[in-house]
């Protein structure tokens, strides 16, 4: 056991030195990165037609006979030759081909994805043709902060104001703030068991006033303005404050209902705006969605006829972030190894 104690002490010293060195490097790298003005996100564009064609070709290579593959290649060459010939006889200026732009939004309670989502919207609006193109947003969100999801929904409103056709696809969930975003679309598609709705507002917080009072701890809340604070975590909440908070929630709910009703007038808003949720097929009955279909099916169908591009801004991790992750992983592995060896020795005694 004395050996293990010495080994643990040595390990702790080694880890401490390693952490100090890596943190120093990370600080220098971070400062250098800021000085160079590196962008934290980079635009990534992927043509899904090529991806689908690659998958199809790979599968055919495995399941078709050599003769069938030769026949396929022959037919493909004939098709390309025919298209080239037709293009030569046609107008000198080729007719623009419709495009579909795929965006993804995976929302947390803060709608953090809006930071890069807004950049994706800005990028596509610079190139999209309102007469030809369509935007498809694959949306997943159970909702969250009102102001955050209000900003996210406003990004979709930008697409609509530009005159582009907008489709929102919900595979799993678009509830509360998520549905606030979805209702902006010209068309909402949802998988059969996707969760949709929750057109309501909720707020909750603990209050520790009685615990502090029990331990003779005073907590002062000083305000200027009658309603600067209504409910607090540590102060004594009053019925007047609670009533004001309830009115604020009701006002927010009214705004939410108006927002949905304005964008989906076919919905009986008083019936569905009770905070309840519906699965995809029931949501279709309530006209909360327009069609039952997965995003995969919808995109596969579109790939057959038009060029489909998936675009998104990918956040680039800084060197400091990478080193921080490496440090934490290294410490976990080192401590895990030490604990494992200690437990193993105990078992051998």
Over residues 131-149, the pLDDT tens digits come to: 999 999 999 999 999 999 9
Pairing of strands 99-106, 165-170: unpaired
3-state secondary structure of 97: coil
Mean of pLDDT over the chain = 81
pLDDT computed for residue 284 by the predictor:
96
Q: What is the largest CA-CA distance in the chain?
A: 91
pLDDT computed for residue 209 by the predictor:
81
Give exposure, 245-266, as e/b (b: 16+ Cβ within 10 Å): beeeeeeebeebbebbbebbee
Give the lowest-confidence range in 168-177, 297-306, 321-330: 321-330
Cross-strand pairs, 48: none
Q: What angle do CA 28, 33, 38 make, to 5 degrees?
A: 175
* DSSP string for 52-94: HHHHHHHHHHHHS-HHHHHHHHHHHHHHHHHHHHHHHHS-SSP
266 band by pLDDT with thresholds 50, 70 and 90 = very high
Two tokens, residue 46: 């992927």
Catalytic residue among 91, 228, 271, 344: 228
Cα–Cα distances in Å, from 129 out to 134, 155, 200, 251? 8, 17, 36, 38
**Interatomic CA distance for residues 183 and 124, integer angstroms:** 21
| 228 among known catalytic residues | yes
Two tokens, residue 261: 């009703």
Which residue has better confidence, 239 or 135? 135
347 band by pLDDT with thresholds 50, 70 and 90 = very low
**Interatomic CA distance for residues 289 and 276, integer angstroms:** 15
Among the listed residues 140, 141, 146, 145, the one whose alpha carbon sits nearest the alpha carbon of residue 110: 145
pLDDT computed for residue 179 by the predictor:
95
Over residues 88-134, the pLDDT tens digits come to: 665 545 567 889 999 999 999 999 999 999 999 999 999 999 999 99
End-to-end alpha-carbon separation of the chain, Å? 10
| 346 among known catalytic residues | no
**Interatomic CA distance for residues 168 and 194, integer angstroms:** 13
Residues 6+ apart with CB under 8 A from 160: 166, 184, 186
How many residues in total does the chain contain?
349
Q: What angle do CA 51, 55, 61 make, to 5 degrees?
A: 140
In angstroms, what is the C-alpha Rg of the chain?
29
**Interatomic CA distance for residues 4 and 344, integer angstroms:** 11
Asked if the model's pLDDT at residue 282 lies above 60, the reply is yes
Helices (H), 215-318: 239-263, 269-272, 280-285, 295-303
Helix 114-125 to helix 146-161 angle (10° resolution) is 10
Which residue has better confidence, 77 or 254? 254
3-state secondary structure of 26: helix
Among the listed residues 226, 220, 223, the one whose alpha carbon sits nearest the alpha carbon of residue 244: 226
Average pLDDT of 233-246?
85
Two tokens, residue 321: 């972030």
Residues 6+ apart with CB under 8 A from 42: 313, 314, 316
Catalytic residue among 176, 191, 198, 295: 176
DSSP 8-state code for residue 316: P
């Amino acid at each position: 056991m004395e050996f293990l104690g010495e080994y643990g002490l040595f390990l702790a010293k080694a880890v401490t030195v390693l952490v100090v060195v890596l943190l120093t490097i990370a600080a220098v790298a971070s400062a250098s990165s800021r000085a160079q003005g590196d962008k934290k996100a980079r635009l990534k564009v992927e043509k899904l037609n090529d991806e689908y064609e690659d998958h199809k070709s790979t599968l055919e290579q495995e399941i078709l006979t050599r003769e069938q593959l030769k026949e396929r290649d022959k037919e493909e060459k004939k098709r390309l030759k025919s298209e080239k010939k037709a293009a030569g006889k046609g107008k000198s200026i080729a007719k623009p081909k419709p495009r579909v732009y795929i965006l993804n939004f995976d929302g947390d309670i803060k709608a953090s994805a809006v930071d890069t989502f807004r950049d994706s919207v800005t990028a596509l609006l610079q190139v999209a043709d309102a007469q030809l193109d369509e935007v498809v947003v694959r949306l997943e969100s159970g909702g969250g902060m009102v102001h955050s999801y209000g900003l996210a929904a406003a990004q979709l409103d930008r697409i609509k104001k530009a005159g582009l056709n907008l489709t929102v696809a919900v595979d799993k969930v678009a509830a509360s703030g998520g549905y606030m975003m979805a209702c902006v679309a010209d068309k909402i598609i949802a998988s059969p068991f996707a969760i949709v709705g929750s057109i309501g507002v909720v707020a909750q917080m603990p209050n520790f006033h009685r615990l502090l009072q029990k331990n003779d701890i005073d907590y002062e809340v000083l305000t200027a303005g009658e309603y600067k604070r209504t409910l607090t975590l540590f102060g004594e909440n009053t019925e007047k404050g609670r009533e004001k908070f309830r009115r604020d929630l009701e006002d927010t709910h009214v705004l939410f209902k108006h927002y949905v009703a304005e964008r989906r007038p076919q919905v009986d808003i008083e019936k569905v705006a009770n905070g309840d949720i519906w699965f995809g097929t029931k949501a279709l009955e309530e006209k909360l969605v327009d069609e039952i279909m997965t995003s995969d099916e919808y995109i596969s169908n579109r790939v057959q006829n038009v060029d489909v591009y998936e675009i998104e801004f990918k956040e680039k991790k800084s060197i400091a972030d990478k080193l921080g992750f490496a440090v934490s992983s290294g410490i976990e592995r080192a401590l895990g190894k030490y604990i494992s060896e200690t437990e193993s020795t105990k078992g051998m005694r």
